[in-house]
Amino acid sequence: MLDEILPAKIANALDSISYNKICELRLRNDSPIVVDCLGKRYFLGEDSLLESNENALILGKGVLSSIVQKLSNNSLYSINDQLIDGYISYLGGVRVGVCGEVVSVDGVLKTIKNISSLNFRFPHYIKNCSLDLFSYIYANGGFKSTLIASPPGVGKTTYLRDIIYQLSKDDKLYNILVVDERQELTSIYNKESIIKFDNVDVYSNCSKKFAFNNGIRSMKPDIIITDEINIEKDIEDIENALTSGVVVFASIHASSVADLKNKTGFKEILSKKLFERFVFLSNEGGVCHIAGVYNQNLQFIGV
């Protein structure tokens, strides 16, 4: 999939690794290339993964800028808003994190130049990985608003993606609105092609505020699904959705109940009982493994 983006040597080396195993690809200026395979990091060799950097492929100078140009289809302006937020969305839900020198004029961020590193995060689709959760989030003919928490890279997005899939194929034909701020949730590369979910309304590449406000008014959703909320920034919009009778499935970065409790604004979520279920994922029992399900008072109710 990245053959047109990456230099041939790197693309060929990646082709020798099973796509299902690759989670991340880290490219740094003038440094050995690092690949994260199922949570373990290796150096990328010409045709295999290496434990040491001795024969690792090294990224030449200036290559990163050309990769960014290609990621933008030679139209940097079309991705500059994303670039300012530190990432670029690419085909099939690939998210590319960008680091470099930030350019600002009069305190306003303009772009990132002299790009020094890129982090490609590859999406995966694990069909039916969320099925175990449905007994906790579905009761009396309705779904419970759920917040899925885990540290980065454990599978929140993969989990949400499967929830979208399960809901979209339900006979009840729910109105599902996906707020896909970073274009990761609904367009997914699956070895050979890009799968798009049917029966789902999608706002992509827009702020949650915009999507929540306009979506509720114009799309009349039963369920809103969104990724990586920021409690401080998004709580008002989520509260508005929940008090409008819409069920919300969202994810957040937090490794434990204590982490979640310490987040600014979380007390408000608890006191107002905005979410009825909290689900913690861990990678101890494999990707998308449920570590615990909690009720609206953050009391443990099962695994």
Partner 1 sequence: MKIFLLFLLFLFFICVAICVWFLYYIRFLLYKDMVYISKYLKNNISFNKKDIKTLLSETSKNISIFTRNLVFDENRNVFYFKKSDIEYVNEFFDSLGKGDVSWERNNIDFYLNTFEDMKQESCDSLHKNGVVYFKLILGLGLALCVMLI
How far apart are the C-alpha atoms of 30 and 66, rounded to whole Å? 14
Q: Does 255 bind partner 1 (CB under 8 A)?
A: no
Q: How far is the CB of 233 from partner 1 (least distance, A)?
A: 24
Q: Which is nearer to partner 1, 73 or 297 (CB)?
A: 73
- Interstrand relation of 94-105 and 201-204 (parallel, antiparallel or unpaired): unpaired
Q: Which is nearer to partner 1, 75 or 271 (CB)?
A: 75
- Interstrand relation of 94-105 and 87-90 (parallel, antiparallel or unpaired): antiparallel
Q: Which is nearer to partner 1, 112 or 164 (CB)?
A: 112
Q: How far is the CB of 84 from partner 1 (least distance, A)?
A: 9
Q: How far is the CB of 100 from partner 1 (least distance, A)?
A: 15
Q: How far is the CB of 6 from partner 1 (least distance, A)?
A: 19
Q: How far is the CB of 4 from partner 1 (least distance, A)?
A: 12
Which of 12, 53, 66, 111: binder of partner 1 (CB under 8 A)? Answer: 111
Where in 50-109 is the site for partner 1 (CB under 8 A)? 69, 72-78, 80
- Interstrand relation of 146-150 and 277-282 (parallel, antiparallel or unpaired): parallel
Burial of 139 (0-12, 13-18, 19+ CB in 10 A): exposed
Q: In which element (H, E) is residue 163 found?
A: helix 156-168
Q: How far is the CB of 78 from partner 1 (least distance, A)?
A: 4
Q: Which is nearer to partner 1, 45 or 100 (CB)?
A: 100
193 to 8, 91, 178, 190, 197: CA distances (angstroms)? 21, 10, 21, 6, 13
Residue type, 78: S
Q: Which is nearer to partner 1, 113 or 233 (CB)?
A: 113
Q: Which is nearer to partner 1, 53 or 65 (CB)?
A: 65
> 290-297, long-range: CB within 8 Å, 24+ apart, which pairs?
290/132, 290/133, 291/150, 292/257, 293/133, 293/136, 294/257, 296/270, 297/270, 297/273
Number of Cα atoms under 13 Å in the Cβ half of residue 157: 23
Positions in the binding site for partner 1 (CB under 8 A): 69, 72-78, 80, 110-111
